Structure 1
Amino acid sequence: MTNLVRGPQLGRMLGQWHALPGRRRSPDYIALAGAVRGLLADGRLPLGVRLPAERELAEALRVSRTTVTAAYRELRETGHLKSRRGAGSWTTLPGGHRVASSGLWTPQDDLDMIDLGCAALAAPAELGGAARGAAEDLPRYLGGAGYHPTGIVELRAAVARSYTDRGLTTSPEQIMVTNGVQHALDLVLRLVLPPGAGVLVESPTYPNALAAFAARRARISTHGLSTERAGWDADLLLGSLRQTRPRLAYLIPEFQNPTGHLMPTELRERVVATAHASGTDLVVDESFVDLALDGTEMPPPTAVFDRHSRVVTIGGMSKPYWGGLRIGWIRASAPQVQRLAATRVGVDMAGPVLDQLVAVRLLADADAIVAARRRQLATQRDALLAALRDELPSWRVRTPLGGVTLWAELDGPIASALARAAEEVGVRLAPGPRFGLDGTLERFLRLPFTLPATELTEAVRRIAAVRYDIDRAERSLWREPVVIA
């Protein structure tokens, strides 16, 4: 990231800062300062970046220099800007806050915060018993060094059976156990994606996947998803593969994160065939595949249609079971698994044996655990939908057939501003721009239904209360931002 942002660049990042609902209540310089603070809160404007000169930004925004001067003064007074005569102005934070690699962090002492940024469930009741059983199983492994780069054979066999049961014949040699799905994606990228290569992703998509691609300096192109039930436009998606011929395409066909779309069988087959013809490797993220709701009939795994080892599937236990159990996996050809293991040795050697034994126990009881999770999620989804209909009827929300999130289309390009305002009343949100590139998707908000129904209803009530007053009050407190999961 450069240490200088130019006026036109900052202007694009600020977007329609002057056209938000309620703007007439505050002067232009207050609105501009608030928009810059919002970029810092979202992580789209890094700390320590030098802002453009006042005249340059004024020209880019088509406002008076006096407005920019006053906005910069406001930012200095709130501790978000430091200036030195002749050297410029740099973004910073108010005193008493610190920064970690994932964003802005403050002490976690607000027990009234309802976190709608993290789309993950609390642990199931069965986890305690599985952990105790795993501790009893552990002595079998204590006589060895404990390094299993592809995972312990019991867990690889259990995961392979789950694929075979879904119609995709799989052997344990085709499974590699990882420390979560994000770790699985990182290892795949290290193996198959050269720095600077082209990548095709859906838009919107999972933010941490975008971060992984950025770390490889990938050239990212996007396929925009529709808000309607179809989701993917087959002709556009396949056309993008043929025309751009990316080195890799990353897709979430089962209850796509964040939209909840489910890719139909026919398109899965066509995507695999087109990817092969264009020389593209497909990385299929199945994080939500177990969470079909309302008795939805599931299409076959995308890899069923793979005849040329072009499809690498990643999945894990974070969503149907618990995020604190860092168990993910990669399904690929046996030779690819061996190459991934060689890549892994230079990263983290192997995963924890005890966690893998817990996973074996949970997967043995998967039918009961996952069925209970589906019932729980269906109830919570319906409660969230009802609250949105009552409190925010102008928002458009499609009922997902599975997964853990709603993708809400708002009544204006206000997602980031609304997230800032909601945090002041104790609700942490994940605004649309986090799921796309270049600050787009301001009309959208991801709302997970992983919390109890009472908390979801209360969160919507608080959001509605600040909806029409999102930029009147100055932001005086800084909190920990959403962790996207």
Structure 2
Amino acid sequence: MISGRHLARLLGSWRTGAPAYIALADAIRLLVLDGRLPLRTRLPGERELAEALDLSRTTVTAAYARLRDEGYVRSRRASGSWTSLPAGAAPPATVPLTPGGDVLDLAAAAPLAPLGGFGAAVTAAVAELPRYQCHHGHELLGLPPLREALAARYTARGLPTEPDQIMVTNGGMSALALLFRLLLGPGDRVLVEHPTYANALVAITRASGRPVPVGLTEDGWDLDMFEATLRQAAPRLAYLIADFQNPTGHLMPEATRAAVAELAARTRTPLVVDETLAELLLDPGPMPPPVAAYHPSVITIGSASKSYWGGLRLGWIRAPRDLIDRLAGVRPSLDLGSPILEQLICTELTRHGDAALRDRRAQLAAQRDTLVAAVRDLLPEWRFTVPRGGLSLWIDLGAPVSTALAVAAERYGLRLAAGPLFGMDGAFARYLRLPYTLPEETLAEATERLATAYRSVAACHVPSAPVALA
């Protein structure tokens, strides 16, 4: 449930030239479509919201009635009202076809293989490989040199870590699946940001869990809503992306990190923090410490896929020692360890890969700036905040046409990930995630195709006009 005061804060400056009840209904509908007000959230009573907004109860009653007629609110006598979507409004979360030929892929936020330092790491790893050829190659926890290198890197970032707190996995998603296998039971709730990483939502549901969304604000995390959800929904665990959040690009401030870690510990909720983008700060300035630096119980997931290359297929879990031991007990039900050669390459990159990371960040910064300039030039009506790091822009299209745009873009040889992929029940139809992971000249061409596709969609979209009360 959301309080009247909290909803008033989310609504912000909601008044327009339309009658008050229409403007209020439009503002609440927008919160639902943007995902900032998750579906099935119980709304404050009419009297409570009227007092919070300094309105008459009649105005709030009329706004709720309008939303009920449109299908965005459902009500039951003695049970209150809660947010919903009209029947058939939730588009299918389909994944576009695999690109080929002249298709440009702006759906996958994954960088190409790095240039500087990567070849040297491969050469050094091949030279080390003979030392392991007399071994069966199954390392449930990962190669000791890689675990030592990862522990040293965490320590350098302000989180003292020992190698026995690390388990190497077959990518970040494998780490997440392993944690869900151990910690989740059928029907268990998992608190997630809304929007969040699309594949994490899939992993939760495939583990028979139930995502419980907490909407992000335009500035980032809503601590009041986070705390209320922890207490009221009692989730089995929470999954957050604190560093250049996927897809919004938000970077969680230090004070929020401390508060989130403390709230999770106080409510005894295991907190899983996805740090796969933590190494991708593109602008000058310091990075805040890892969330786990604020409480020893926080579980951290890392990955080489975003920092170096997805082809390495390596990730890791940093957690308390007892949890690592428990994970080792259930891991054989998924796999028996990660490939040795890839681990040796990752060891070299982690120990000596600062040059590769500098090249990667410089390359991504240039590509980000190219995409930002192209979108502002060709699609000036789109709204977005330029992130300080990460791999993508989160763009407000101004109308719920994201899925239609993704479909239309295929006709122009462009693959997109529509906003609803990153939310639940059709939320974020106004949004599009746009990665800047392709070369600069390719991004310029992709933006031209995108603008052409958008014009074909916008020509068919006619926004509804407010209707005055008769």
Fold shared per TM-score above 0.5? yes
Alignment correspondent of 2:34: none
Alignment correspondent of 1:406: 393
> Could you report, residue by residue, the CA deviation over 1:392-439 in whole angstroms, capped at 9, with x for unpaired residues?
111001010110110000021000000111111011111100000111
Query: 3-state SS of the aligned residue for 2:130?
Result: helix
Tell me the CA shift for residue 208 of structure 1: 0.6
* Structure 2 residue 455 is matched with structure 1 residue 465: no
Tell me the CA shift for residue 243 of structure 1: 2.1
Tell me the CA shift for residue 440 of structure 1: 1.3
Tell me the CA shift for residue 267 of structure 1: 1.1
Alignment correspondent of 2:136: 145
Cα contact 1:247–1:281 (8 A) shared by 2: yes
Query: 3-state SS of the aligned residue for 2:192?
Result: strand
* Structure 2 residue 192 is matched with structure 1 residue 205: no
Q: What amino acid sits opposite 1:342 in the alignment?
A: G
Query: 3-state SS of the aligned residue for 1:199?
Result: strand
Tell me the CA shift for residue 471 of structure 1: 8.4
Q: How does 1:36-435 map to 2 (within 5 A)?
A: 110-125=100-115, 126-226=117-217, 228=218, 230-307=219-296, 309=297, 311-435=298-422
CA distance in 1, matches of 2:455, 2:96: 26
CA distance in 1, matches of 2:312, 2:453: 36
Tell me the CA shift for residue 148 of structure 1: 0.5
Tell me the CA shift for residue 103 of structure 1: 5.6
CA distance in 2, matches of 1:103, 1:122: 21
Query: 3-state SS of the aligned residue for 2:271?
Result: strand
Cα contact 1:296–1:401 (8 A) shared by 2: no
Query: 3-state SS of the aligned residue for 2:146?
Result: helix
Tell me the CA shift for residue 373 of structure 1: 1.0
CA distance in 1, matches of 2:458, 2:374: 24
CA distance in 2, matches of 1:242, 1:155: 39
CA distance in 2, matches of 1:266, 1:232: 11
Cα contact 2:305–2:312 (8 A) shared by 1: yes
Tell me the CA shift for residue 105 of structure 1: 5.2
CA distance in 2, matches of 1:456, 1:404: 13
Cα contact 2:118–2:356 (8 A) shared by 1: no
1:452 equivalent among 439, 453, 465: 439
CA distance in 2, matches of 1:180, 1:315: 8
Cα RMSD for the two superposed structures? 1.9
Structure 2 unaligned regions, length at least 5: 1-68, 72-93, 461-470
Alignment correspondent of 1:79: none
> Could you report, residue by residue, the CA deviation over 1:124-144 in whole angstroms, capped at 9, with x for unpaired residues?
123233222211101111112
Cα contact 1:433–1:441 (8 A) shared by 2: yes
Cα contact 1:252–1:285 (8 A) shared by 2: yes
* Structure 2 residue 423 is matched with structure 1 residue 442: no
CA distance in 2, matches of 1:372, 1:252: 24
The 3 A distance-change label for structure 1 pair 105 and 414 is closer
Cα contact 1:317–1:323 (8 A) shared by 2: yes
Cα contact 1:287–1:315 (8 A) shared by 2: yes
Query: 3-state SS of the aligned residue for 1:397?
Result: coil
CA distance in 2, matches of 1:345, 1:469: 51
> Could you report, residue by residue, the CA deviation over 1:102-160 in whole angstroms, capped at 9, with x for unpaired residues?
96757x6x421110011111111232332222111011111121111000000000000
Structure 1 unaligned regions, length at least 5: 1-59, 63-101, 474-485
Q: What amino acid sits opposite 2:289 in the alignment?
A: P
Cα contact 2:190–2:237 (8 A) shared by 1: yes
CA distance in 2, matches of 1:376, 1:238: 39
Cα contact 1:205–1:435 (8 A) shared by 2: yes
Q: What amino acid sits opposite 1:370 in the alignment?
A: L
> Could you report, residue by residue, the CA deviation over 1:66-113 in whole angstroms, capped at 9, with x for unpaired residues?
xxxxxxxxxxxxxxxxxxxxxxxxxxxxxxxxxxxx96757x6x4211
Q: What amino acid sits opposite 1:256 in the alignment?
A: Q
Cα contact 2:105–2:414 (8 A) shared by 1: yes
CA distance in 2, matches of 1:147, 1:378: 39
Q: What amino acid sits opposite 2:112 in the alignment?
A: A
CA distance in 1, matches of 2:118, 2:329: 32
CA distance in 2, matches of 1:457, 1:236: 39
Query: 3-state SS of the aligned residue for 2:387?
Result: coil
Query: 3-state SS of the aligned residue for 1:324?
Result: helix
The 3 A distance-change label for structure 1 pair 472 and 406 is closer
Cα contact 1:396–1:408 (8 A) shared by 2: yes
Tell me the CA shift for residue 472 of structure 1: 8.3
Query: 3-state SS of the aligned residue for 2:204?
Result: helix
Query: 3-state SS of the aligned residue for 1:313?
Result: strand
Tell me the CA shift for residue 271 of structure 1: 1.0
CA distance in 1, matches of 2:408, 2:290: 41
Percent identity between the two aligned chains: 49
Q: What amino acid sits opposite 2:288 in the alignment?
A: P
Q: TM-score, normalised by structure 1?
A: 0.73
Q: TM-score, normalised by structure 2?
A: 0.76
Cα contact 1:245–1:279 (8 A) shared by 2: no
Cα contact 1:395–1:409 (8 A) shared by 2: yes
